[in-house]
């Protein structure tokens, strides 16, 4: 029997029992569709988080004071025990690195803000004019901090949207004066509401020039420095440039830590990737169930068609002919189920994208391929036993059953 | 050398504790081109004998030589090959595959033999013509009359040009006229040289054969060779 004839015979047999075939295909399809939809969901979540992180600025390097040892002991470890502080001068120096586009020094402190009679605890952030640009923050009214000499302690403030509502209500806030601790500041801008994204929320911040904040908290150190580099690819070289500059400024000792968003992103990427894989595994169980169903249906088919098998043997079919015919039938049923399930799964993923537009719910290629392969694999694997049973039937007994 | 040589064939079925001797010590030889009727009461072992001759079943003891070759020792697949090439079966209940058309049923042995499609089509078309089934080629078995079904089955049994044709009560499910039509068809094939072995309860049909094997209780009681008149239903047989 040629392969083409086996295929034709098996497909005719499958079509000869439409209801049975339809149910089988449906069971397999549900399994495949489950894998496609669930991995689309998992991978969508992963992409959503990664994109959110990327929107925080994927090409950022954050400089922190102090060394977090990860690379073992180096000679520098023995020289000083207390790390030197980061200063505004350090931040300025970093701008000299060719791959750096913008920087923002950061100082943080808690204080009280008062307008008229109203008093409130706030977080004060001292930074530079480029901070809003680096973080993609939008200013709703007025302007962000002026591009000043960073040493100048201008008495201006940009406030968050929630703070504006609480302090000024419906009155205009721009141009008004508020008191932060002992310092009087003029409001020059209002930040746009932050919305639902990840990352720092500006809604309740008072943002002031870095020198103003340092004067307010009586310090000359920085909490950290944010450095924006030309591109994501430039992160590595830029980090080396920054390290060189900082080392030179600190007597050859690098007592600062540089963090890239990339590292954080990579971790999240891996965690959510593993989650998707787990979900796919759970969905694959339904495929195994479908496989057992294939076996059942094929066993019933063997019983149903015992007479036919006997006849084929009488006509000279070998055990191999019959085994192949039934195996092919099982494979065809699985294949049809896999294709229908693939389509159903994509419709499902499309539905999810329609219902939750923020979620990029596309099934990953590896999951689709794995689902289709598993469907075919289980179908054939569970088809082997019925096919062997058919091939082993005694021809006389089979012929008498009719 | 005879085409079929059976020598001391025993076939025992075990049903729990009891044993049924379906065939005992059966020896017979049949030459190529013979026309043999196997007759006897129900349960005498006629079908069992035919299944053995068709290599669908194996004896518990004894030897079966087909065309000089001992076929009892062949593997299942080797036996399948012999069946495919040398033996044609016709059954009382036709045994057509219900989802296949008449033409496809007739072509089934050619498909199993792996013949190329154009060769298949040619031979099936010829068979449809020979058996007067051209108008029914694309009909499925449930759209055919009993006589047409048996003609399809005979066309299928002969499409591989087998050396022998085994028919187990081929007219058992047909009315007399259609039965005679089918008998004539089988006899025509025999006249063309194919060995024909027919199991029948019908004494009229049995009498048409040139040789009758009378079975009783698993044994061959009589082996009668007669020269029947070509047309008239010949001498009643079954002498005791
Ligand atoms: N598979 C089997 N298992 C057990 N006993 C069997 C089997 N096949 C046949 N027999 C027994 O063997 C004996 C011969 O059966 P067989 O079918 O050859 O008879 P037969 O002559 O063809 O009868 P009929 O004219 O009714 O078709 C019977 O007693 C039957 O019960
Ligand atoms: Mg019988």
DSSP single-letter state for residue A43? H
Cβ A339 vs Cβ A33: under 8 Å: no
Residues of B in contact with A5 (CB under 8 A): 111, 114
Instruction: State the helix-helix crossing angle for A365-392 and A319-355, rounded to 10 degrees.
Output: 150
In this prediction, residue A209 carries a pLDDT of 94
Is any atom of ligand 1 closer than 6 Å to the C-beta of B45? Answer: yes
CATH value at residue B119: 3.40.50.300
Ligand 1 in contact with B13 (CB < 6 A)?
A: yes
The pLDDT, as a whole number, for residue A196 is 55
Give pLDDT, residue A198: 54
Neighbours of A383 (CB within 10 A): 27
In A65-124, the residues whose Cβ lies within 8 Å of chain B are none
For B47, nearest residue in chain A (alpha carbons): A396
Strands B211-216 and B35-39: parallel
Whether B43 is in a domain gets the answer yes
Q: How confident is the model at residue B233 (pLDDT cuts 50, 70, 90)?
A: very low
Query: Residue B26 domain-assigned?
Result: no
In A295-324, the residues whose Cβ lies within 8 Å of chain B are 307-308, 310-321
The answer to whether A318 contacts B76, with C-beta atoms less than 8 Å apart, is yes
The answer to whether B237 touches B203, Cβ cutoff 8 Å, is yes
Per-residue pLDDT at B231 exceeds 80: no
Tokens 């012929």 belong to residue: A399
Q: Report the residue among B18, B20, B58, B171 best suited for mutation to probe ligand 1: largest number of ligand atoms under 8 A from its CB.
A: B20
Residue B4 lies in a domain: no
B42 lines ligand 1 (CB under 6 A): yes
pLDDT in tens, chain A (402 residues): 889 999 999 999 888 889 888 988 998 898 889 888 988 888 888 888 877 776 666 688 889 888 765 544 455 445 555 667 889 999 999 998 999 999 999 999 999 998 888 888 999 999 999 998 888 888 999 999 998 887 888 999 999 999 999 999 888 989 999 999 889 999 999 998 876 555 567 888 999 999 999 999 999 899 989 999 988 788 889 989 999 999 888 888 888 888 887 777 777 788 888 888 888 888 778 888 888 888 888 888 888 888 899 999 999 999 999 999 999 998 998 899 999 999 999 999 999 999 988 888 888 888 888 888 888 888 888 888 889 988 988 888 888 865
Which chain B residue shows the shortest CA-CA distance from A18? B99
Where is A369: in which H helix or E strand? helix A365-392
Alpha helix segments (H runs only) across chain B: 46-53, 76-86, 102-113, 117-130, 146-158, 176-191, 203-208
CA A11 to chain centroid, in Å, comes to 43
Task: Check A1 against B112: CB less than 8 A apart.
Answer: yes
Q: Does B235 fall in a domain?
A: no
pLDDT for A55 equals: 67
pLDDT in the model for residue B227: 64
Interchain proximity A317–B112, CB inside 8 Å = yes
Across chain A, how many H-helices and E-strands are there?
A: 12, 10
Cα A312 to ligand 2 centre (Å):
20
d(CA A391, nearest CA chain B) in Å: 11
d(CA B3, CA A386): 38
- Please report the atom of ligand 1 found closest to the CA of residue B48: 18
Distance between B112 CA and the closest CA of chain A, angstroms? 5
- Residues in chain A with CB shorter than 8 Å from the CB of B156 are 315
Mutation test of ligand 1: which of B44, B59, B214 has the most ligand atoms closer than 8 Å to its C-beta?
A: B44
* Number of the ligand closest to the Cα of B16: 1
Domain annotation covers residue B219: yes
Which positions ≥6 away from B128 have C-beta within 8 Å? B102, B103, B106, B134, B136, B137, B155
Q: What is the pLDDT of residue B48?
A: 94
pLDDT confidence of residue A200: 65
* B107 Cβ inside 6 Å of ligand 1: no
Distance, CA of A81 to CA of A83 (rounded, Å): 6
Q: Say what the pLDDT of residue A153 is.
A: 86
The Cα B64–Cα B60 span in angstroms is 11
* Cβ–Cβ gap A2/B114 under 8 Å: yes
Q: Which site among B94, B111, B159 would you substitute to test the A interface, given the most A Cβ atoms closer than 10 Å to its Cβ?
A: B111
Which-ligand-closest: CA of B24?
Answer: 1
The number of distinct structural domains making up chain B is: 1
Q: Is B213 in the pocket of ligand 1 (CB under 6 A)?
A: no
Residues contacting residue B31 through CB under 8 Å, at least 6 positions apart: B2, B3, B195
Does residue B70 lie in a domain region? no
Range of the domain at B130: 33-58+88-225
- The whole-chain average pLDDT of chain B stands at 90
Tens digit of pLDDT for each residue in B90-145? Answer: 999 999 999 999 999 999 999 999 999 999 999 999 999 999 999 999 999 999 99
- Report the alpha-carbon distance of residue A2 to residue A162 in Å, rounded: 77
CA distance A11 to chain B (A): 11
**What average pLDDT score do residues B29-51 get?**
94
């Amino acid at each position: 029997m040629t392969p083409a004839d086996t295929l034709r015979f098996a497909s005719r047999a499958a079509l000869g029992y439409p209801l049975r075939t339809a149910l089988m295909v449906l069971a397999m399809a549900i399994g495949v569709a489950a894998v496609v939809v669930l991995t689309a969901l998992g991978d969508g979540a992963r992409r959503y988080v990664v994109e959110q992180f990327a929107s925080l600025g994927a090409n950022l390097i954050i400089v922190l004071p102090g060394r977090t040892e990860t690379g073992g002991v180096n000679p520098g470890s023995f020289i000083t025990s207390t790390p030197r502080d980061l200063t505004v001068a350090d931040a300025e120096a970093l701008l000299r690195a060719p791959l750096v586009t913008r920087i923002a020094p950061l100082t943080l402190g808690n204080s009280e803000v008062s307008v008229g009679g109203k008093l409130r605890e706030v977080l004060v952030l001292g930074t530079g004019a480029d901070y809003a640009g680096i973080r993609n923050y939008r200013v709703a009214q007025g302007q962000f901090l002026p591009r000043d000499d960073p040493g100048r302690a201008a008495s201006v403030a940009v406030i968050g949207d929630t703070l504006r509502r609480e302090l000024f209500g419906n009155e205009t806030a721009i141009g008004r004066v508020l008191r932060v601790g002992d310092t009087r500041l003029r409001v020059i801008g209002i930040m746009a509401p932050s919305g639902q994204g990840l990352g720092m929320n500006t809604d309740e911040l008072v943002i002031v020039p870095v020198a103003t904040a340092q004067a307010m908290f009586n310090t000359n150190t920085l909490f950290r420095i944010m450095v924006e580099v030309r591109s994501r690819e430039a992160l590595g070289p830029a980090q080396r440039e920054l390290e060189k500059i900082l080392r030179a400024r600190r007597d050859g000792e690098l007592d600062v830590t540089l963090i890239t968003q990339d590292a954080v992103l990579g971790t999240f990427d891996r965690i959510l990737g593993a989650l998707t894989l787990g979900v796919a595994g759970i969905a694959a169980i339904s495929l195994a169930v479908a496989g057992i169903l294939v076996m059942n249906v094929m066993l019933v088919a063997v019983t149903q068609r015992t007479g036919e098998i006997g006849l084929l043997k009488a006509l000279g079919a070998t055990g191999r002919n019959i085994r192949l015919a039934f195996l092919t039938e099982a494979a065809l049923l699985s294949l049809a189920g896999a294709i229908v399930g693939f389509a159903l799964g994509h419709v499902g993923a499309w539905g999810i994208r329609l219902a939750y537009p923020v979620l990029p719910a596309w099934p990953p290629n590896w999951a689709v391929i794995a689902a289709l392969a598993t469907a075919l694999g289980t179908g054939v694997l569970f088809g082997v036993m019925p096919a062997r049973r058919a091939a082993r039937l005694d021809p006389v007994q089979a012929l008498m059953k009719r | 050398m005879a085409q079929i040589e059976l020598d001391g064939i025993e076939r025992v079925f075990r049903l729990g504790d009891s044993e049924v001797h379906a065939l005992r010590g059966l020896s017979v030889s049949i030459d190529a081109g013979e026309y043999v009727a196997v007759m006897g009461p129900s349960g005498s072992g006629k079908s069992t004998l035919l299944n053995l001759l068709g290599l669908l079943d194996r004896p518990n003891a004894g030897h079966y030589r087909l065309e000089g070759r001992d076929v009892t020792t062949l593997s299942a697949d080797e036996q399948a090959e012999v069946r495919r090439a040398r033996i044609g079966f016709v059954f009382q209940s036709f045994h057509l595959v219900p989802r296949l058309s008449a033409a496809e049923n007739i072509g089934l042995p050619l498909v199993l033999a792996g013949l190329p499609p154009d060769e298949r089509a040619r031979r099936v078309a010829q068979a449809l013509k020979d058996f007067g089934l051209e108008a029914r080629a694309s009909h499925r078995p449930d759209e055919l009359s009993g006589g047409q079904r048996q003609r399809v089955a005979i066309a299928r049994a002969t499409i591989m040009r087998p050396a022998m044709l085994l028919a187990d009560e081929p007219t058992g499910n047909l009315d007399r006229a259609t039965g005679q039509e089918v008998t004539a068809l089988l006899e025509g094939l025999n006249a063309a040289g194919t060995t024909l072995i027919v199991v029948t309860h019908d004494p009229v049909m049995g009498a048409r054969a040139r040789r009758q094997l009378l079975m009783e209780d698993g044994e061959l009681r009589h082996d009668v060779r007669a020269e029947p008149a070509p047309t008239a239903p010949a001498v009643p047989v079954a002498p005791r």
